[in-house]
């Protein structure tokens, strides 16, 4: 992907794909993987490729090095932004695109996930943390607020009370507390993080792709609608699957005691 102007030989974002699983690594370890505009552009390139390829069924997102997942946005760029930048919301748009992708996503949080880094993890479907991981939304200390989806996604995950306390104080939440809050689904030793993330990705990739996509869609609207509308969405989604060859393959594989082979 695009090189950093300061280090032209090093890609800002690394991307690999193997056995149906793509891995996107934010690659600015010298800047704790801060999300400047160049990194955001490189992430867009990766998402373009993932959406175009039919052989990638899950995307794992992580950061280079052992200190940071993504330690926020680039403060120098933040200091130069004006009201129009806030209304355009480029980072919010990027993270919303990631969140809405049909391809399921797994965040492997290997260190500091602050500001835009925490929001990047929140935009993924599943979050797995290293024991060294810490989460924070410190923007109010800079006279701004989380604006890449943090106020909305965090509250949905951990409740309004926990989200309000995190945002208003900016405090760092260690991995084990993040697990108790429901911010992450698992905490593992640092050396096991990527293996656990890949294991989770493989478990997702082994299931029906359309079933996963529709499940993501219905879950996304679980808090946007009343219960009866949500149940209607659930019925509509499963009716599509009842008419799809994916259901036939899944049930046949079960009775034949073999792994399903989804296309």
Which domains does the chain carry?
3-205 (3.90.226.10), 209-255 (1.10.12)
Name the catalytic one among 30, 80, 119, 199. Answer: 119
User: According to the model, what pLDDT value does residue 91 have?
Assistant: 87
Active-site pick, 30, 51, 77, 139: 139
Residue 87 pLDDT: 65
Degrees to nearest 5, angle at CA 149 with 25 and 56: 40
Angle of helix 209-220 relative to helix 245-255, nearest 10 degrees, comes to: 120
Instruction: List pLDDT tens digits, range 3-44.
Output: 554 444 689 999 999 999 999 999 999 989 998 999 999 999
The predicted model gives 173-178 an average pLDDT of: 97
Q: Is 119 a catalytic residue?
A: yes
Average pLDDT over residues 202-231: 89
Report the run of H or E that residue 136 belongs to, with start and end.
strand 134-136
Sorted by sequence, the CB contacts under 8 Å of residue 68 that are 6+ apart come out as: 29, 32, 33, 110, 111, 112, 113, 117
Instruction: State how far the Cα of 147 lies from the Cα of 139, in Å rounded to an integer.
Output: 9
Between CA 203 and CA 184 the distance in angstroms is 17
pLDDT for res 164: 96
Local confidence band at 179 (pLDDT 50, 70, 90 cut-offs) = very high
- Cα separation, 207 vs 215, in Å, equals 12
Do the strands 112-114 and 126-130 form a parallel or antiparallel pair, or are they unpaired? unpaired
Q: Is 256 a catalytic residue?
A: no
> pLDDT tens for residues 61-113?
999 998 999 987 666 776 677 676 666 578 899 999 999 999 999 999 999 99
CA dihedral 173, 177, 178, 184 (to 10 degrees): 150
């Amino acid at each position: 992907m695009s090189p950093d102007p300061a280090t032209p030989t090093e890609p800002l974002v690394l991307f690999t794909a193997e056995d149906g699983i793509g891995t996107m690594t934010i690659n600015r370890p010298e800047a704790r993987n801060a999300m400047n505009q160049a990194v955001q552009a490189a992430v867009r390139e990766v998402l373009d490729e993932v959406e175009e390829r039919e052989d990638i069924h899950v995307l794992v997102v992580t950061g280079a090095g052992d200190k940071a997942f993504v330690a926020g946005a680039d403060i120098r760029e933040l200091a130069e932004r004006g009201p129009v930048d806030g209304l355009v919301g480029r980072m919010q748009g990027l993270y919303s695109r990631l969140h809405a992708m049909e391809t399921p996503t797994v965040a492997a949080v290997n260190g500091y996930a602050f500001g835009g880094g925490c929001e990047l993890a929140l935009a993924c479907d599943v979050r797995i943390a290293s024991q060294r991981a810490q989460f924070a939304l410190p923007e109010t200390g800079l006279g701004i607020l989380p604006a890449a989806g943090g106020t909305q996604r965090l509250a949905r995950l951990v409740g309004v009370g926990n989200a309000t306390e995190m945002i208003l104080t900016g405090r760092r939440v260690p991995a084990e507390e993040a697990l108790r809050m429901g911010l992450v689904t698992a905490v593992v030793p640092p050396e096991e993080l990527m293996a656990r993330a890949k294991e989770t990705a493989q478990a997702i990739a082994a299931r029906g792709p359309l079933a996963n996509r529709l499940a993501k869609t219905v879950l996304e609207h679980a808090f946007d609608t009343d219960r009866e509308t949500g149940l209607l969405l659930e019925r509509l989604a499963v009716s599509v699957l009842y008419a799809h060859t994916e259901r036939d393959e899944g049930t046949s594989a079960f009775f034949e005691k073999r792994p399903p082979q989804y296309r």
